Structure 1
Amino acid sequence: MALVSTGELVRAAASAGRGLAAFNVITLEHAEAIAAGAEQAGMPAILQISENAVKFRGGRLDAIAAAAAAVARASSAPLALHLDHVVSTGLLHAAQEAGFGSVMFDASKLPYAENVAATAAAVRWGHERGIWVEAELGKVGGKEGEAPLDAHAPGVRTDPAEAAAYVADTGVDALAVAVGSSHAMTERTATLDHDLIARLRATVPVPLVLHGSSGVPDEQIRAAVASGMVKINIGTALNTAFTGTVRMCLEAEPRGVDPRKYLAPAREAMTGTVAGFLRVLGS
């Protein structure tokens, strides 16, 4: 199947009142597991590559992007390719040539006025090239290199009126909001503010995005979608499945040297995780 655009998948999910999962890709096994899990669940999904994943690849985007795109094209599931948490304008400008139809431009660490200016410029650049652009407003904690952040501390969560103004001033196609989740959670204990999600949905004219969904329990994810969330980002849950399986395999065979002996079970574990999240969104 040809790659489907992120915008097309998000619009379809929003119109149907359901969620659309976006899973982080770090290795080829991640991409293969996302495709296999989507096929098992009979659901669409997004393969997203973050700026941190590109840094892990020595700053080279093309190889991992080409691999993820090849996996997506070979899959029977509708899959999109998305560039996530982009801070560098250089990486932003590499998105089109690398085959991405969508980008999340992350200026959330900047003061509000600077965030608006930088994001508006990114949106103008993207829209001139047919690229769908997501941005973030509020403080979704747990990002690499940041101090721990209470997801419900004063001033952390996204203000609906400010979010509406932000969307109007930047022209973004979707907005990631802070409503109680956090990146890099290895336990599913997050509690979302569903009243805030509903108020954001009523105020903000573009689809809402939930980052840090690995730490959100199934029933909270279902409720978030019912309240108005559309794109649901998941990364750490795949890494937990991958690393836990590799650890068990190496403990069971400490003298083993063939990486296929642990990469194959790790990929299968991630496939199950992907299919599980997709079934939650499809239920």
Structure 2
Amino acid sequence: MPLVDSKAMLIYAMENKFAIGAFNANNMEIAQAIVEAAEEEKAPVIVQISQGAIEYAGENCLFSIVKSLADKASVPVVCHLDHGVDFNTVIKALKAGFTSLMFDGSSLPFEENVRITKKLAEIAHAAGVPLEGEIGKVPDAAKGPLSPEEVQKYLTTPEEAKEFCEKTGVDSLAVSVGSAHRMKVQSARLDIERIAKIKEKVKVPLVLHGASGVLDESVVEAIKAGISKINFATELNKAFTNALRQKLTSDPDLVDVRKYGAVARENVKRIVREKINLLNSAGKAEEVLSFISKNDYFKRYIDKSAIVE
């Protein structure tokens, strides 16, 4: 089926207390694994392309892969820009056809983040596409060990989350509640009370980034408290790389990329299926599709004049 946008999908998840898995794809095999896993679990899914992935492979190449997979899929698939950290990257992804966007202005002063996010939300909405914003900042574990004090200073407050949403018009909001990007070990516990307090103030679906490093039981608690979209990237990269390493170590003469690529793809698919079940989105594809069909939040045309260079 055609790609769908993320707005109705996330609203349905929010109202029904489960979460949509958002999985980062850096190549064809990972994208295939994500969509195949969603099909096998009959789950709605978001395939994410980060700004780093765009710099690696190009937005048009990666979008074409995701679109071709979605066209043949029986479950709703979103192609989402993850962590667009500058205005031009968000616009490039919109022009390429992405059906969901994120602008990450969390490293900017609050008012600057609001200004750019608001402008991008206006442009995206004119083109029929939802925009995710971020307030607070999810730290990067790859830059070194994070102390509890360091994590604490990045956390989102309910008051700033409310103000940010009201001023920008975003369709979903990424919040910092105790996770970190690029954690290689599941050890983080989330601030569940903070999530619940933010949810009281904010009406749009909440997004958890850096979930690869979060303990499963904390993920489940976060969903109950109000998280509706949960992002996984590092765990997929680990699964892909570990499978490649094992295959090439056991068969050092192997040179056929299809054979070791297939092994890596299957290992990623296993992880995605596990996460879909953890988020309780397995079996939800049909009801999500029904909700989407009844709730067309955006006009289905592209206003080219809204897309600026």
TM normalised by structure 1 equals 0.95
Conserved? CA contact 2:100–2:130, under 8 Å: yes
Conserved? CA contact 2:114–2:167, under 8 Å: yes
Deviation of the 1:121 alpha carbon:
1.3
Kindly provide the CA deviation profile for residues 10-46 of structure 1, in whole angstroms up to 9, marking residues without a partner as x: 1121121111110001000111000111112221110
Pick from 115, 135, 138 the counterpart of residue 136 of structure 2.
138
Provide the C-alpha distance between the structure 2 equivalents of 1:62 and 1:150, rounded to a whole number of angstroms.
39
Provide the C-alpha distance between the structure 1 equivalents of 2:251 and 2:99, rounded to a whole number of angstroms.
43
Deviation of the 1:147 alpha carbon:
5.9
Structure with higher helix content: 2
Deviation of the 1:97 alpha carbon:
2.6
Q: 1:267 to 1:278 in 2, by over 3 A?
A: same
Pick from 220, 224, 236 the counterpart of residue 222 of structure 1.
220
Conserved? CA contact 1:43–1:282, under 8 Å: no
For residue 245 of structure 1, what is the aligned residue in structure 2? 243
For residue 24 of structure 1, what is the aligned residue in structure 2? 24
SS of alignment partner, residue 282 of structure 1: coil
For residue 169 of structure 1, what is the aligned residue in structure 2? 167
Kindly provide the CA deviation profile for residues 137-157 of structure 1, in whole angstroms up to 9, marking residues without a partner as x: 11101177x565446534210
For residue 77 of structure 2, what is the aligned residue in structure 1? 79
Provide the C-alpha distance between the structure 2 equivalents of 1:148 and 1:61, rounded to a whole number of angstroms.
32
Provide the C-alpha distance between the structure 1 equivalents of 2:118 and 2:3, rounded to a whole number of angstroms.
27
Kindly provide the CA deviation profile for residues 217-276 of structure 1, in whole angstroms up to 9, marking residues without a partner as x: 221111100010000011111111000000000100112111112110100000010000
Aligned length: 280
Conserved? CA contact 2:5–2:129, under 8 Å: no
For residue 70 of structure 1, what is the aligned residue in structure 2? 68
Gaps of 5+ in 2: 282-309
Provide the C-alpha distance between the structure 1 equivalents of 2:59 and 2:77, rounded to a whole number of angstroms.
19
| 1:109-124 map, 5 Å | 109-124=107-122
Conserved? CA contact 1:142–1:148, under 8 Å: no
Conserved? CA contact 1:181–1:213, under 8 Å: yes
SS of alignment partner, residue 96 of structure 2: coil
Letter of the 1:33 counterpart: A
SS of alignment partner, residue 206 of structure 1: coil
For residue 13 of structure 1, what is the aligned residue in structure 2? 13
Deviation of the 1:2 alpha carbon:
2.1
| 1:23-102 map, 5 Å | 23-57=23-57, 60-102=58-100
Conserved? CA contact 2:24–2:49, under 8 Å: yes
- % same residue: 40
Deviation of the 1:117 alpha carbon:
1.1
For residue 289 of structure 2, what is the aligned residue in structure 1? none
SS of alignment partner, residue 23 of structure 2: strand
TM normalised by structure 2 equals 0.87
RMSD of aligned Cα (Å): 1.5
For residue 278 of structure 1, what is the aligned residue in structure 2? 276
Provide the C-alpha distance between the structure 1 equivalents of 2:100 and 2:195, rounded to a whole number of angstroms.
23
Conserved? CA contact 1:141–1:148, under 8 Å: no
Conserved? CA contact 1:151–1:179, under 8 Å: no
Provide the C-alpha distance between the structure 2 equivalents of 1:92 and 1:219, rounded to a whole number of angstroms.
34
Kindly provide the CA deviation profile for residues 177-230 of structure 1, in whole angstroms up to 9, marking residues without a partner as x: 000001111111111000001001111121100000111122111110001000
Conserved? CA contact 2:35–2:69, under 8 Å: yes
Higher RCO structure (Cα 8 Å, ≥6 apart): 2
SS of alignment partner, residue 9 of structure 1: helix
Gaps of 5+ in 1: none
Provide the C-alpha distance between the structure 1 equivalents of 2:269 and 2:3, rounded to a whole number of angstroms.
20
